[in-house]
Structure 1
């Protein structure tokens, strides 16, 4: 296939514009060389920037291409990715966002390390790392297939160049660069996605009557367990992400964080409609009447390319180029968020808190930048070796649901939650999930849960079971160990995680409440000890 030179020039110009905007927007943070500004942009985001950057982070290439893939191949009943993720984001906005913003954390892993210790908090970083890598791979893979089909570019080169652009401006500008480029990219997305629909649907090869009875899809009774599992995973697995709370923590106030998250969920849900429509159009197309020379009817794996196929074969060249701009914008807006989120947690919670507590801001900044490059490269490598974009889009929420969600719930609301419970819950959830197998990664099952089918695999909602077992393990072991140590049933010399052993001496008399003869406790101190209570006034302002 010949390279579309006009399209190549247009995409190159778009990338240069985004790169310049990102670097210019990031100059504020690079001048100060302050790690806190790179992490949370000095907590300066208003409603407009906060909501737009959060929505743009959600609407990535996997979101667009994956929704079109699921809608076209399986029907609306299975195109539940955007619905689940946005419901989860809305719930997080109502319940979690004001609470964590009020505490002024730097990352969402701060509460884990303050409650459970730095090392346990560091262990909980790995599900986030894998989730971000799968997420980045999904969106880069979506862009790679789009550029290769529509412009005739080599997919490997497309993925590498796209990853490099996102990494470069994130490298220099941190959250400032990411947020302000997200705003521009969101407008590109909206225009490009909507513009393609009227041209595609009016193509002579498209007859929407072909999908009058099939566009809704079907849900076989045997698949109800899988369906429930998937919906729950998307809703609750979409709630613990650092990329979301990085924007929440950058808002000016808890109340604004709540409003921005809810508005972002509404925006991103609306932006799921155009790719869903494109998927339905692809299913209603007589591909024999187009220039498409692939296998007809479309094979299962071909549906992952349905969005770029509609752009290429059903739209004029100018419209397809604009559509590519939409996908490119979506990829940039999410890829930069992935690498920055992982880089922020590694630099702040792993490198600084565990290995180099006395590290300077300059050192932390360079660790952040090095991690951004490494994560960007790893995500690009995965994108070049996977099949279904929608599979990665769903899979990235998997461990976040089974492991991270129960951990987040317990650390924020369970006063007795401790390191023992967290540690056991982590491995209980991980074992039960991995033992169920994962066909997408060619992992065979060790446990055949109820309703197991030789051909279709696990039909029981075992991911939800794994999550619940992890949750109850955290609660149960935390409660038991608290009773053992606080009632002196077990000697504190066995408190290996030092949850109930206090060796800190009071150094400053000003830090002591002289009436009660005990140290004054800040909000974070109270949170660390499981005694943080929401104040009535804050409840009224935020909820």
Structure 2
């Protein structure tokens, strides 16, 4: 959602203003002090974001190869640091581009295998039926009176529901990596078109990962050990 919004309202403005970082916008609009404050906040938040990805990479190596978590984290951090220092934004973008195709191919193969193993699409969606949702409300697109939204009911449920949409639609627009990729495109038209293509890919393939997880939960049951859950989530 944020890609679609950015494609319509942000990309052209950012490129024409020749912003290199998201803080260039804050400096241009609100002054140097706001730019410095925003930079400090962004550095702090990116520590957590980066750490989470390093831990996730270590967990994947631990689950698939049996390595200690700490060793996997060190390897992931070392590899990412080396190729980023050597190649900069181009190396990071090129690797993301390759990873996207590998991820999409993997999701397609996993989904095809799951459809075959469960006996078809009807059985697939049967296993993917919502858990702890009142019968008849499985496909509700907003909080219902009986089910609420993730345990929140009434006005609180709607507020959390709206907040979730806002975080999806607006939360990633000020991300530094998104702006850098936008400004690195060869021209404005390419930047806008690539944003919409990326949005279409997110919609098409982004739904497969949670669907695989929901189907695995429905097929394997809720009484899995922590180790089994971790491996299921990774796969």
Q: Above 0.5 in TM-score?
A: yes
Partners of 2:209 and 2:46 in 1: how far apart? 23
Aligned to 1:189: 103
Count of residue pairs brought into register by the alignment: 215
Deviation at 1:146, TM superposition (A): 2.4
Structure 2 unmatched ranges of 5 or more: none
Q: Quick check: 1:307 aligned with 2:233? A: yes
Q: Quick check: 1:153 aligned with 2:67? A: yes
Q: Quick check: 1:97 aligned with 2:14? A: no
Partners of 2:58 and 2:24 in 1: how far apart? 35
Structure 1 unmatched ranges of 5 or more: 1-86, 288-295, 312-543
Aligned to 1:134: 48
Structure 2 SS opposite 1:193: helix
Q: Quick check: 1:265 aligned with 2:191? A: no
String of CA shifts for 1:389-428, please: whole Å, max 9, x gaps. Answer: xxxxxxxxxxxxxxxxxxxxxxxxxxxxxxxxxxxxxxxx
Structure number with bigger Rg:
1
Q: Quick check: 1:176 aligned with 2:90? A: yes
Please, which of 279, 286, 291 is the counterpart of residue 213 of structure 2? 279
Indicate conservation of the 8 Å contact 1:146/1:307, yes or no. Answer: no
Deviation at 1:240, TM superposition (A): 1.0
Aligned to 1:516: none
Indicate conservation of the 8 Å contact 1:108/1:242, yes or no. Answer: yes
Please, which of 153, 158, 166 is the counterpart of residue 224 of structure 1? 158
Structure 2 SS opposite 1:109: helix
Partners of 1:262 and 1:233 in 2: how far apart? 19
Partners of 2:105 and 2:33 in 1: how far apart? 46
Indicate conservation of the 8 Å contact 2:7/2:192, yes or no. Answer: yes
Deviation at 1:113, TM superposition (A): 1.9
Aligned to 2:179: 245
Partners of 2:185 and 2:219 in 1: how far apart? 45
After superposition, where does 1:41-60 map in structure 2 within 5 Å? none
After superposition, where does 1:2-21 map in structure 2 within 5 Å? none
Please report the RMSD computed on the Cα atoms of aligned residues, expressed in angstroms.
Answer: 3.0
After superposition, where does 1:8-407 map in structure 2 within 5 Å? 87-203=1-117, 208=124, 209-212=126-129, 214=131, 216=138, 219=143, 220-221=147-148, 222=153, 223-286=157-220, 297-298=223-224, 306-308=232-234, 311=235
Where relative contact order (Cα < 8 A, 6+ residues apart) is larger, the structure is 2
Partners of 1:233 and 1:93 in 2: how far apart? 17
Deviation at 1:266, TM superposition (A): 1.4
User: What TM-score, normalized by structure 1, do the two folds share?
Assistant: 0.36
Give the ranges of 4+ consecutive aligned residues of structure 1 lying more than 4 Å apart after TM superposition.
Answer: 201-204, 215-219, 299-305
Aligned to 1:421: none
Deviation at 1:92, TM superposition (A): 0.9
158-167 vs 131-140, greater mean Cα deviation: 131-140
User: What TM-score, normalized by structure 2, do the two folds share?
Assistant: 0.78
Structure 2 SS opposite 1:238: coil
Q: 1:192 to 1:158 in 2, by over 3 A?
A: same
Partners of 1:253 and 1:145 in 2: how far apart? 39
Indicate conservation of the 8 Å contact 2:20/2:179, yes or no. Answer: no
Indicate conservation of the 8 Å contact 2:185/2:191, yes or no. Answer: yes
Partners of 2:168 and 2:104 in 1: how far apart? 23
Aligned to 1:537: none
Which structure: greater helix fraction?
2
Partners of 1:99 and 1:301 in 2: how far apart? 47
Indicate conservation of the 8 Å contact 1:92/1:239, yes or no. Answer: yes
Q: 1:304 to 1:92 in 2, by over 3 A?
A: farther
Deviation at 1:98, TM superposition (A): 0.4
Deviation at 1:299, TM superposition (A): 7.3
